[in-house]
Each structure stands twice: as C-alpha cells, then as structure tokens.
Amino acid sequence: GINGRFYNSGPSTASESKTQDNKVRQGTGIALVIANIAKLNVKIYDTNPKQIEKGLDLINNLIEKEVSKQRITREHAESTKSRIGTISIIEELDDTNFIIEAVSENINLKCKIFENLDNILKKDTILATNTSSISITKIAAATKRPEKVIGMHFMNPVPVMKLVEIIPGLATSEETLNITKNLTAKMGKTYTQSQDVPGFIANRLLIPYINEAIIALEQGIGTKEDIDTTMKLGTNVPMGPLALADFIGLDTCLAIMKVLHNEIGDTKYRPAVLLQKYVDAGWKGKKCGRGFYQY
C-alpha cells in the first residue's frame, strides 16, 4: 500500500505529513494552522493510525499552550479542535477541495500517491505537494490533472515560520495558483513564488550555505561554535548554520544537496565529505540525538 500521510479537509482543505522521525511532522503543523488560523475544516490521513493519534496529541498540546499563554480564548480553542477530523481510508478524501500531501521526500512515493489520488478525487480538487526539492512538474505528470497540481513548501516548524514558497509546475493553471495563494494568505503566511527548479528559492540558497559551513568546519577554519556564533550574531539569524543543519536533519540536507548537484550539474554544489560521513555514521541531527551537536 501507500506509505503516506495526508491531511485532508472536508469542504475546503487538506494536507499530509512528511518526516520519518517521530518528532516534528510538518503535516501536523499544517493541519493545525489550517484549523486555527484559516478557520477551515481539515481532515488528517496517515497510513499509520498511530501517527494520526500522535499528531492529534501534539495539536492538542499546542492549542492548550496557546490558551495558557492567553493568546486564544477557550472558545477559539474548542472551535479549532472541532475543525480537525481524521479519516482512516484514503477513499474518504473523495469530496475534498484541496489536498496538501506531505510524505517523505521520495519521488516514486509521491508520484504513486498522486496517481492514486487523481483516481479517487472529484475532478476539480487541487493537489498540493509539500516538497523541498522534488520537481512539481514531474509529480503533476503522474496525474491527469497537471493544471491542478502545485507545490507548497512549508518551513519548519510550520506553526512558527511565516513563509510558504509556492511553486507552479509547467502546466499549473493561473486559477490553481490564485486559489493556493489565497489559502496561504488565509493561513496567516507570507508566500513567495518560485520557478520549478531544484531547491526552489529557499533551499537553492540555504543548503549550499549550510554545506559551505560544513566545509569550513572540515577545513578547520573555525570550531563549530565559532562558525555558528559568527553567523548567528553576525547576521542576526536564530541559529547558526551547523545548528540549523542538525535541526533540519543532516540526511535531509545531504539529499537536497545531491538533488542540486545532480540536476544542476555544477561542482559548486558538491556535498561536503563530512556531511556524507555524519549521515553514514547515523548522526543525522537533532532527531537522532546527535549531529554536529549532541541533544
């Protein structure tokens, strides 16, 4: 079967979740923002029912935190909760208007899911994919509705980060693009639009920067603390590049770097040897308890 996770909304929105680790799942954050900020109904789907339960627990905790910090009222919290539903079989997505898929970054998996959804969904449903580096055009080509397929790249952690990159594929219609922009704005996010190229805008710039920081560490230009503090305080960002690499996941950074290297072909995108080594060692960052730092 499909090893995927979907968050789907009844009358109007939908999504799915991504990372394999059991910490931050992007789909959970997306569902929360849809219900809490956009005030739309949302349904969550995952092939693993345990993940749905975990997601709901996390959502409840985050909502209760908002109440305890007096940022939302009890009434608002209860209506947010009431807008979030779950489904147990993918066929229950048949009447949804908008799907956001957020499974792991595996092109074959994504294409298989989109092909399957294309057969299940009513014909005007929009299918968005939350990908950080896979071609939207390729995913769209797995369906018979490429004009209704679009990329929505959320940043981690989704409830906190203000940006969504929107990526139309080669065949995406203007209407699909506008509906997606409106939904993103309703979610309280700022969107930017990127061409469907490897890494889009965010990762085309961010991941080579992280890779360069790893090369700087490898070459002994500075200690990991000095590299991170230089960039954190020197450019006013919340985390230095090595801490950020741990936060994103070193396996994810490596995978994106490989996409840039393979698809653009320029040697300037060659992954740092040390990055590959850490991933080979299983030191994949925060989610594993060890990356450049220990957690």
> How far separated are the first and last CA of the chain, in Å rounded?
35
Nearer to ligand CAA, 8 or 28 (CB): 28
Nearer to ligand CAA, 66 or 118 (CB): 66
- Measured from the CB of residue 88, what is the shortest distance to ligand CAA in angstroms? 25
Query: How many CA atoms does the CB half-sphere of 120 hold within 13 Å?
Result: 19
d(CA 261, CA 266): 6
Nearer to ligand CAA, 44 or 90 (CB): 44
> What is the 8-class DSSP label of residue 10?
S
Token readout for 187 is 């979610």
Nearer to ligand CAA, 67 or 202 (CB): 202
Q: Which of 153, 261, 284, 287 is catalytic?
A: 153
The torsion angles phi and psi of 71, rounded to 5 degrees, stand at -90, -25
Nearer to ligand CAA, 20 or 88 (CB): 20
DSSP per residue over 186-238, as a string?
Answer: HTT-EEEE--SSTTTTHHHHHHHHHHHHHHHHHTTSS-HHHHHHHHHHHTT-S
- Measured from the CB of residue 159, what is the shortest distance to ligand CAA in angstroms? 4
Token readout for 93 is 């997505």
- Measured from the CB of residue 295, what is the shortest distance to ligand CAA in angstroms? 13
The torsion angles phi and psi of 25, rounded to 5 degrees, stand at -110, 120
> What is the 8-class DSSP label of residue 7?
E
- Measured from the CB of residue 37, what is the shortest distance to ligand CAA in angstroms? 13
64: which residues sit within 8 A by CB, 6+ positions away? 77
Binding mask 77-116 for ligand CAA (x = CB under 6 A): ----------------------------------------
d(CA 22, CA 289): 12
Please list every residue from 12 through 41 that binds ligand CAA, using CB under 6 A. Answer: 24, 29
Nearer to ligand CAA, 96 or 156 (CB): 156
- Measured from the CB of residue 96, what is the shortest distance to ligand CAA in angstroms? 25
Please list every residue from 112 through 171 that binds ligand CAA, using CB under 6 A. Answer: 132, 155-157, 159-161
Tell whether residue 62 is a contact of ligand CAA (CB under 6 A): yes
Q: What length is written for the chain?
A: 295
d(CA 141, CA 159): 31
Number of residues that bind ligand CAA (CB under 6 A): 18
Contact 65, 59 (CB under 8 A): no
- Measured from the CB of residue 66, what is the shortest distance to ligand CAA in angstroms? 7
d(CA 28, CA 59): 7
Q: Judge whether 153 counts as a catalytic residue.
A: yes
Binding mask 211-250 for ligand CAA (x = CB under 6 A): ---------------------------xx----x---x--
Contact 13, 45 (CB under 8 A): no
Interacting residues toward ligand CAA by CB under 6 A: 24, 29, 62, 69, 132, 155-157, 159-161, 202-203, 238-239, 244, 248, 252
What residues act catalytically? 153
